[in-house]
Amino acid sequence: MPRVLGIDIPGKKRLEFALRYIYGIGPKCALEVIEKAQLDAAKKADDLTDEEITRLAGILQSQYNIEGDLRREVSQNVRRLMSINCYRGIRHKRGLPVRGQRTSTNARTRKGPRKTVGAVRGKEARSAAKTGK
């Protein structure tokens, strides 16, 4: 399993797919990096030489915002939205969908599991309600 910038990429996969395991590198970006490093996209990640890994790492470090820096930037952007109390920031604060999705049904990923509203009764209260007492 080769390490590129401290991230283990899967060695059994083709290079164009293995690079996508780095946060901030998608399909298009992976192909651009491979082209700039003058590598074969069909080559397995395990087959890379140390010199090729160094070339890849150099290109990723100098030309792309990835991993920790990108995560920090995204979280700062969200924090900024929340601090200025714009609509998107308020949605982030409340844990609701930010991009206009419906919330009357669905949205369970953002809202979490359903919370039942109403009195939770014990066994005695339920049996009394059934008998009419």
- Encode pLDDT of 31-61 as tens digits: 999 999 999 989 998 988 999 999 999 999 9
Structure confidence at residue 7 (pLDDT): 87
Structure confidence at residue 121 (pLDDT): 73
106 pLDDT exceeds 70? yes
Question: By the 8 A CB rule, do 67 and 24 touch?
Answer: yes
Structure confidence at residue 133 (pLDDT): 59
Q: Which of 9, 44, 13 is nearest to 25 (CA)?
A: 9
Please state, for a pLDDT cut of 90, what percent of the chain lies above it.
Answer: 55
132 pLDDT exceeds 70? no
Structure confidence at residue 90 (pLDDT): 95
Query: CATH code for 3-63?
Result: 1.10.8.50
- Give mean pLDDT, residues 101-118: 88
How confident is the prediction for the chain on average, in pLDDT? 89
The structural domains of the chain, with segments of one domain joined by +, span: 3-63
pLDDT confidence band for 104 (50 / 70 / 90)? confident
Residues 12, 22: Cα–Cα separation, whole Å: 16
Residues 120, 57: Cα–Cα separation, whole Å: 58
Residues 64, 70: Cα–Cα separation, whole Å: 9
73 pLDDT exceeds 80? yes
Q: Which residue has the tokens 């009195």?
A: 119
Residues 82, 45: Cα–Cα separation, whole Å: 41
120 pLDDT exceeds 80? no
pLDDT confidence band for 5 (50 / 70 / 90)? confident
